[in-house]
Amino acid sequence: MLQGRSFQKLWGAATLSAFGDSISSTALPLTAILVLDANVVESAILSALIWVPSLLLSVPAGAWVDRSGNRRLVMVAANIGRFVALGSVPLGVALDALSMTQLYTVMFALGACSVLSAVSETGIFAAVIPPDQYVEGQATIHGSHATAMLAGPAAGGYLVQAFSAPLAIMIDAVSALISALLLSRIRIVEVRASATEKVRDSLHSGATFIWRTPFIRTALTVTATVNFFNLMFNAVLMWYFVNHLDMSGGAVGLVLSAQAVGAIVGASFAPRLSAHIGLGRTLLTGCLLFNAPLILVPFVNRADVTGVALLLLAAIGSGYGAATQDISVGSVFALVVPEAMRSRVRGAYQMVSFGIRPLGALAGAAVSTVIGAHSTLLVGAVGGSLAFLWLLPSPLLNFRAPERVLDDA
């Protein structure tokens, strides 16, 4: 059991953020669709914009955070930024001034705050627990994320249905403030990058490390492929639920929450699975299970008992795979990347793995105008299922965590 106070505060902040984000992941798109009558292309663009900052800011943000050595303060500021961005949505509704332009701006701002949090959290995580507990720590955080995912989308859907989308979004805004408070109370000694390193060299060093390290390079190729096709899938999913299957906000929340059931199970079993078959093969398992169950979704044409059962089955299987994949990648990253380079490497990694997501979402919008939302879902699910092929010739497939991690799992 991980009982360090600093880890518990990081864990609590991450859980609150995940809970709030999972509410807004339902409430923001539903606000666009139900309040502003957004079409499938507008919905896809909204989904894409939150990932654009990953493409533009990840590398310079990672370099800056490593050089500043103030990862904790950066995460605090990012959560305050999330509060301001999210709080503007209910304010816009109250003033009868909400527009798609404002929602686009909010999504971009949330993406920028997420970039700053992500490149900082990697270094903080490694500073609050020892290396032989990385897999357990990753599983603990992802288990809490999964629990938040279980309650969040359902809560978001029900809040939208019973009250309003702005109320649901305001809850996320409050969770961001509480997360900032928890993070501000963490006390750690942070490692800074060399002060003599030139900015240009700092920007390039993360990308160079990834290219020269087969484990990280392959993990990036796998996750980028998964993310592209998964965002193609997700860009049209909410519109498909509401307009094609005529599902209510509560029903949408129920299906999205089912993914978290699988994620909780995946997070619980990931340490044991990696102990038996290694982190590389655990990643392969997660990659396959993340996307293959989603192939069921486009074959659901009615939200009757059978249709909803298939959606729930797909969501549970996908959630198991997503948690398993994320824990595996996070553990490999923490074990392989040197402490002083983690933010830079994470920034370069995220620029590709997250930066490709808006391209996937925009591809989903474009493809859906040609072949329809139904076929776009199928292309996204099948394409993501093939990402495991990158692992087969790579040494990452046989990578294992240190022996003590395996013994404790």
Residue numbers of the chain with a pLDDT score lower than 70: 1-4, 22, 69, 126, 131-132, 134-135, 138, 142-143, 145-158, 161-163, 188-203, 402-409
Residue type for position 374:
H
Amino acid at 128: V
pTM here is 0.71
Query: Considering only CA atoms, which of 146, 171, 145 is closest in space to residue 158?
Result: 171
d(CA 301, CA 298): 7
Q: What is the pLDDT of residue 385?
A: 93
Nearest to 191 by CA among 90, 89, 337, 11: 337
Query: Can you say how many angstroms the Cα of residue 156 is from the centroid of all Cα atoms in its chain?
Result: 17
- Tally of CB atoms within 10 A around 251: 19
The single-letter DSSP state of residue 337 is S
Cα separation, 309 vs 399, whole angstroms: 37
Neighbouring C-beta atoms of residue 212, cutoff 10 Å: 9
pLDDT at 67: 74
Q: What is the pLDDT of residue 5?
A: 77
Supply the pLDDT for residue 48.
Answer: 79
Tokens encoding 102: 């404002």
Contacting residues for 365 by C-beta, under 8 A, at least 6 apart? 40, 41, 44, 45, 48, 235, 236
CA nearest to 384, candidates 409, 408, 401, 363: 363
- Residue 240 token pair: 């498909």
Half-sphere exposure of 266 (CA within 13 A, CB side): 34
Residue 321's pLDDT is what? 93
In this structure, are residues 243 and 374 in contact, taking their beta carbons and an 8 Å threshold? no
Half-sphere CA count of 372, side-chain side, radius 13 A: 5
Spatial distance between the Cα atoms of 376 and 240, rounded to a whole number of angstroms: 10
User: With respect to CATH, is domain 5-185+199-408 assigned 1.20.1250.20?
Assistant: yes
Helix (H) or strand (E) holding 117: helix 100-128
Task: Copy the structure tokens of residue 40.
Answer: 């499938």
Would you kindly state where each structural domain of the chain is located, as residue ranges? 5-185+199-408
What does the alpha-carbon distance between residue 85 and residue 69 come to, in Å, rounded to a whole number? Answer: 26
Q: What is the pLDDT of residue 18?
A: 73
Whole-number Å distance between alpha carbons of 283 and 291 = 13
CA distance 320 to 269: 9
